[in-house]
């Protein structure tokens, strides 16, 4: 079973081309939203149902949890989309509820894992986040399904680029930087392609020697 992740730099559900692409990669139409990073915000949940209208869509709240069988619920999905917000809180809450282990099982079984912002960082070993206050800082305890680090919002938040490149120079694992509306598709932990719905949007491989531009394919 091919293991698949699509990590999006930001604004993923605001881009219909991304939604169409994600659905084309899923094995079926059962789609679940995890709004944990945003505190199960009602507006985030409403945006998800607008973006994925026409699908067999559902969501899982953990702040107001009603679902008892989390494993059965999540393993029944074809696509799991993780929303933005606080990555550190997301990881802590997932671990308390046992969601991390279930997501690993779903990943191994071929469920497409995806998301933007926090839903981008969480799949990697580490990344740059604003989870710890007003500034940006490294986060070192991601799920580690993908090796290395990630930095979303590379073009839309002015401090992301200098903070990330400096952190990698100082020893943070090398990784990938994604502008908003840019998605990195992985199969079996290997980067397959970079896609974007916005002209001129960029992606970089970032290591201790600096930035290395990656080819970006335009989404129709």
Give residue-wise pLDDT tens across range 26-36: 999 999 999 99
Q: How confident is the model at residue 14 (pLDDT cuts 50, 70, 90)?
A: confident
From the candidates 116, 117, 149, 197, which is the catalytic residue? 117
Which CATH number covers residue 92? 3.40.50.880
Q: By C-alpha distance, which of 96, 95, 92, 154 is closest to 120?
A: 154
Q: How confident is the model at residue 220 (pLDDT cuts 50, 70, 90)?
A: confident
- Check residue 13 and give its pLDDT: 86
State yes or no: pLDDT of 151 exceeds 80: yes
Q: How confident is the model at residue 11 (pLDDT cuts 50, 70, 90)?
A: confident
**18 carries an active-site annotation:** no
220 domain residue, yes or no: no
From the candidates 18, 44, 59, 153, which is the catalytic residue? 153
- Check residue 134 and give its pLDDT: 84
Average pLDDT over residues 29-52: 97
Could you tell me the residue range of the domain that residue 161 belongs to? 4-214
Q: Is 205 helix (H, G, I), strand (E, B) or coil?
A: strand
Average pLDDT over residues 183-194: 98
74 domain residue, yes or no: yes
- Check residue 28 and give its pLDDT: 95
- Check residue 32 and give its pLDDT: 98
Per the structure, the count of domains in the chain is 1
196 domain residue, yes or no: yes
**131 carries an active-site annotation:** no
86 domain residue, yes or no: yes
Q: In whole angstroms, what is the distance from residue 166 CA to residue 211 CA?
A: 11
208 domain residue, yes or no: yes
């Amino acid at each position: 079973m091919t293991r698949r992740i699509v990590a999006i730099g930001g604004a993923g559900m605001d881009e219909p081309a991304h939604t169409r692409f994600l659905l084309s990669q899923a094995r079926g139409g059962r789609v679940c939203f995890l709004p944990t990073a945003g505190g199960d915000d009602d507006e985030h949940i409403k945006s998800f149902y607008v973006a994925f209208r026409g699908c067999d869509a559902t969501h899982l709240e953990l702040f107001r949890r009603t679902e008892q069988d989390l494993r059965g619920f999540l393993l029944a999905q074809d696509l799991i989309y993780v929303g933005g917000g606080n990555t550190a809180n997301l990881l802590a809450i997932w671990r308390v509820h046992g969601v991390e282990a279930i997501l690993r099982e779903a990943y191994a079984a071929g469920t497409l894992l995806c998301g933007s912002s926090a839903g981008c960082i969480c799949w990697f070993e580490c990344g740059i986040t604003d989870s710890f206050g007003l500034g940006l800082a490294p986060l070192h305890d991601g799920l580690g399904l993908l090796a290395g680090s990630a930095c979303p919002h590379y073009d839309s938040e002015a401090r992301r680029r200098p903070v990330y490149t400096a952190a990698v120079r100082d020893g943070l694992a090398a990784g990938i930087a994604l502008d908003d509306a840019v998605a990195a598709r992985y199969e079996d932990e290997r980067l397959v392609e970079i896609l974007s719905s916005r002209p001129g949007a960029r992606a970089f491989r970032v290591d201790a020697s600096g930035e290395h531009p990656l080819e970006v394919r335009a989404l129709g």
